[in-house]
């Protein structure tokens, strides 16, 4: 009986240590000195390019050129009807960035590969970012918007 109790205690302790954060917040902070009006659109990821995504180490987010972004993002008009509405990641809809910050609620152990387009209504500047908007602990990335071309900071 003692052995069973010891094993159960060990398993419960191990499980509680393994799940340190659960879900979290994946956020993008935008350094926007000109206070441009910026929008963002979230696209599902074309899973046939998952190996390229992994070899590019994009888990925490990586900037993409337009050609790669258009290849990696899944844009099908019929897709809108097939994909159930996801309250965590509203797909295909353009949203305004508020207070230079975009936050996504994440779920633990979820693989949420997405391509996010940030675009300025004022100057036409844009940046595509691929990321695994996964759970765990909170994640934060910064985008420098004040330059000629926005860029993702390390």
| Total-model pTM | 0.73
Residue 79 pLDDT > 50: no
Tens-place pLDDT, residues 91-128: 677 889 999 999 888 777 667 778 888 999 889 999 99
Residue 129 pLDDT > 50: yes
- The tokens describing 80, both together, are 């809108």
- The tokens describing 93, both together, are 């809809």
Domain formed by 23-153, architecture: Sandwich (2.60)
Distance CA 121, CA 123 (A): 6
Check residue 105 and report its DSSP letter: E
Domain boundaries, the chain: 23-153
Contact 38, 146 (CB under 8 A): no
- pLDDT band with cut points at 50, 70 and 90 for residue 14: very low
For residue 141, give the nearest of 106, 90, 101, 109 by alpha carbon. 101
């Amino acid at each position: 009986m003692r052995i069973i109790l010891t094993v159960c205690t060990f398993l419960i302790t191990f499980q509680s240590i393994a799940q340190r954060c659960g879900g979290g917040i994946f956020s993008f902070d935008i350094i926007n000195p000109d206070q441009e009006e910026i929008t963002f659109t979230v696209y599902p990821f074309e899973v046939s390019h998952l190996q390229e995504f992994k070899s590019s180490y994009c888990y925490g987010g990586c900037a993409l050129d337009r050609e790669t972004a258009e290849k990696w993002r899944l844009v099908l008009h019929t897709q809108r009807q097939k994909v159930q509405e996801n309250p965590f990641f509203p797909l295909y809809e353009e949203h305004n960035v508020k207070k230079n910050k975009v936050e996504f609620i994440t779920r633990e152990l979820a693989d949420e590969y997405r391509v996010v387009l940030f675009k300025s209504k004022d100057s036409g500047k844009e940046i595509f970012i691929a990321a695994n908007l996964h759970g765990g602990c909170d994640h934060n990335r910064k985008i420098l918007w004040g330059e000629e071309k926005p860029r993702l900071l390390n």
